[in-house]
Amino acid sequence: MSAAAPRPLFIAATRQHVGKTTVSLAVLSGLRKRFGDRVGFVKPVGQQHVPVGAKGIRVDKDVQLMKEYFGLNHLRYEDMSPVLVPRDYTKRFIDGEVSSDDQTSKIQDAVKRVQETSDVLIYEGTGHVGVGAIIDASNADVARRLDADVVLVANGGIGSAFDELEMNRAVLKDKGVRLRGVVLNKVVPDKVEQVRDYVGRAIQERWGVPLLGVVPDLPFLGKATLGDLERLLDGELISGRRYRDLHFGTQDLACVTTAVRRFLRKTHFRQAEKNETRPLFVTHCTRDDVLLAFLAYYKRSTVPLPDGVMDRDGWLGAMVLCKGECDMDPKQSVEDNTHLPYLVDIARAYDAPVMLTKLGTVEATNVMANFTAKMHVGDRSRIQAAIDHYEPHIDFEKLLG
């Protein structure tokens, strides 16, 4: 080891969707560079879980992400994700079917095994520091039992960020948990230095806690892949399956209800004037004219490279065809919501990214607009982009001090 091992770090957040897992990725990456491969990772209490390995054991999805991406072969899945909270778990806990002592023992026994093979240890929490209190396993409770220091992650700003941090800090203080420091995430780029100055001074003077990092917003990290959206909409890519890892953001959504000429004008304007090269069009599957126009524009505007792969720096739009109730004509029956087979043949011949879903156009658009894309092991380009973006903005000297 090149440095003295710090106390265990518990990465927590002020609420959902503030970038806790992304910060954990960056911290884990930075610690591996300083302490070698023997960095341990545990998510003591997990909610969203997935099957892994030949035995199909279920673990928290973030555990799968960390273990597979970083190759944490010195750790067992079972130890990295000791307690899961599936549906009805809370009711079973209140009914006495789940014991608080057994739950705590599971976590502590798993952590002990991880410590035996690790030189430094990171825990990742779930939501804000009070989440899990009803099962006697809030983030603050678990951090106290594991004798870990907490790193709080909040979204950027000054007043609102401080208010959220103060509420969570109060819970930690009540539980006797030490706050190691704060990371502010998704800060407006031209406000980074201002936020660093004011929030840094405020938390240092009032709490004696350092500001460990201020991370400017990078919109790409909030974008879902076409594969994510395929699962979200319970849809099917009828062509262009090789583009499942192509990223689209909420700002890329465009629900098409206009005439074809206007659709093409707007599409060309978005590309030429606004440099919007990744539009995600949503329309009803009976709009054969719009689909045909999209395919023609796709054929003209996408640029194949010598190896046959499309130039991803150029234009590469996608289309979602909706089979649900036609929002422009509610009386239309679902049975009438079909598309012409020859257009599907054209889409497949062009290998254009076209998806089919049973949802209606408005519903599909709203579902995608309200979706928060999460890091997962299949989206390696976004994982690496997140680490590259976050890690330089975290002050590891303060973190390990």
Q: Which CATH number covers residue 314?
A: 3.40.1390.20
Predicted confidence at residue 331, as pLDDT, reads: 46
Answer whether residue 358 is part of any domain.
yes
Predicted confidence at residue 48, as pLDDT, reads: 87
- CB neighbourhood size of 264 (10 A): 16
Same-domain pairing of 176 and 237? no
Whether the CB-CB separation of 369 and 280 falls below 8 Å is answered with: no
Answer whether residue 4 is part of any domain.
no
Predicted confidence at residue 278, as pLDDT, reads: 85
Predicted confidence at residue 258, as pLDDT, reads: 87
Answer whether residue 95 is part of any domain.
yes
Same-domain pairing of 228 and 345? yes
Same-domain pairing of 106 and 228? no
The token pair that represents 58 in the structure block: 């279920």
- Per residue of the chain (401 residues), what is the pLDDT tens digit? 445 567 899 999 999 889 999 999 999 999 999 999 999 999 999 988 899 987 889 999 999 999 999 999 999 999 999 999 998 999 999 999 999 999 999 999 999 999 999 999 999 999 899 999 999 999 999 999 999 999 999 998 899 999 999 999 999 999 999 999 999 999 999 999 999 999 999 999 999 999 999 999 998 898 999 999 999 999 999 999 999 988 998 889 999 988 888 888 888 767 766 677 889 999 998 899 999 999 999 998 887 655 555 556 678 899 999 988 654 444 444 444 455 678 889 999 999 999 999 999 999 999 999 998 888 888 998 999 999 999 999 999 999 98
- CA 346 to CA 315: how far, in whole Å? 19
Whether the CB-CB separation of 121 and 143 falls below 8 Å is answered with: no
Answer whether residue 3 is part of any domain.
no
CATH code for the domain in which residue 47 is found: 3.40.50.300
Please, which residues have CB within 8 angstroms of residue 126's CB and are 6 or more apart in sequence? 43, 45, 46, 47, 132, 139
Same-domain pairing of 159 and 66? yes
Same-domain pairing of 125 and 70? yes
Same-domain pairing of 98 and 213? yes
Could you give phi then psi for residue 34, rounded to 5 degrees? -95, -30
Same-domain pairing of 66 and 204? yes
Q: Which domain holds residue 56?
A: 9-218+376-400
End-to-end CA separation in angstroms for the chain: 16
Same-domain pairing of 196 and 77? yes
Pairing between strand 149-155 and 9-13?
Answer: parallel
Answer whether residue 246 is part of any domain.
yes
Q: How many domains does the chain have?
A: 2
Same-domain pairing of 135 and 210? yes
Same-domain pairing of 172 and 282? no
Same-domain pairing of 22 and 145? yes
Answer whether residue 340 is part of any domain.
yes
- CA 79 to CA 204: how far, in whole Å? 36
Same-domain pairing of 54 and 183? yes
pTM (2 decimals)?
0.85
